[in-house]
Structures are given as C-alpha cells and as structure tokens.
Amino acid sequence: MGQGSSPKLASNQATTIVLLPAEELLRDLLLGCRQQSVTQELEIWITGGWVRDRLLGIPCSDLDIALSTMTGVQFGNLLAEFLEQNEASYRQRALNLGIEFKKFNGFHTTKKNLDKIFGLDLDLVNLRKEVYDDNCRTPKMEFGTAEEDAFRRDATANALFLDLQNRKVADFTRKGLDDLYAGIMRTPLEPRQTFLDDPLRKLFQPS
C-alpha cells in the first residue's frame, strides 16, 4: 500500500464515506429490506477492501456485506424477494440516476450472487469468528460480533467496517485508520498468531 496525501486520523476516530449514487441506492435497498423483512436489531456492515479503497478515494464496485444475526444466504433470499416486490420503484430510481438495472435473479451460490445490483457485486456473509483445530487449517465458522470479525482479518487496513445505519466507519482494532493512511500493513493480532491460524494469509501480504 503506497503512501498517500490523505491526512492522518486518530486511530479511534470514526469517519464517514460519501456514497456514490449506486452505493446510496444499494444502502436504501438493504435497509429497506431489513425494515420490511427482518428486524431492526440486524446490523448491516460493509467491510473489507471496499472500505479501504473508498477511504483512499479509489473506486470499488465489489462490496462485502456483513450481517450480525443472519447468514448471507438467508438475507440474500429475503433481499431477492424484497427487490422483486419493489422492482418498479427501484428500476425507475436507477433510471433517473443513470444507473444500470437488471432483473435480479437471486443468489445462486452460498456466497455470491451471479447478477449485479445497480452495477455492484455483492458478497453477503454473516459476521464470523473462526475456531481452528490444531490438525486442520480450515476453521470452524461461528457467528461473531463485528469486533471479533475484525480481529480475524489479515490486516488492520482490511478490518474497517462501515455501519450502513449511521454511515460511520468503525475501527475496532484501533489501528486500521492510522495504518491505512500511513501505508502500514499490520496484522490485527500478533503476526505469529494470525499466520499460524492460516499460513496462506502470508502469501497475500505484500513484501
């Protein structure tokens, strides 16, 4: 990650991201689905590379959506139903903004939809914590909190979360924002623990 001209932020300072029109429409869709079909207790976050890139002013159309109390498949099915029920409204709103709109055919795999929504790729997953067996690299996945999910990630700059409800970026590691703007790649946990948990992570870390 290269050095940038962005000002350094305090590690515990929440910040916001100004959403682009397609992202704003997606936010409205996700929160609308939650209000109609689920419960207000469901937390919906955008996390991972999209948050990192957008804070650096880099366009990104691949969004990881993390959910607190539902699996990605469960919410994806509700989202497909909600969008089908409200297709005319969202189609017109997208048209007015010059945003791509295609009929959404649902989620065809356990993780990712094959169709874009408003030109954006979505990956819906639940917030997770990973429990590893000493004899197996593949972790057992359990529901976790946003903070637990953040600390299981490979780098602090990739562990930033945008809360869709209040539009604020949460830095649970208290190092992600500082590291992002300083161009530092740092593991949320001690490096030995992070890479022993999953040695393949080392392959994706820049030298």
pLDDT for 94-143, tens place per residue?
A: 999 999 898 776 665 544 555 689 999 999 999 998 777 767 666 777 99
Q: Give the C-alpha separation, 84 to 29, whole Å.
A: 11
Percent of residues, the chain, with pLDDT higher than 70: 76
Quote the tokens at residue 160. Answer: 């930033």
pTM for the structure as a whole: 0.81
Q: Which domains does the chain have, with CATH numbers?
A: 20-196 (3.30.460.10)
Q: Give the C-alpha separation, 3 to 83, whole Å.
A: 41
Query: What is the tens place of the pLDDT at every residue in 29-55?
Result: 999 999 998 888 899 999 999 999 999
How buried is 143 (Cβ within 10 angstroms: 0-12 exposed, 13-18 middle, 19+ buried)?
Answer: middle
Q: Give the C-alpha separation, 182 to 8, whole Å.
A: 7
Place of tokens 């819906």: 124
Q: Give the C-alpha separation, 33 to 31, whole Å.
A: 5
pLDDT of res. 146: 96
Query: What is the tens place of the pLDDT at every residue in 19-30?
Result: 999 999 999 999
Percent of residues, the chain, with pLDDT higher than 90: 62
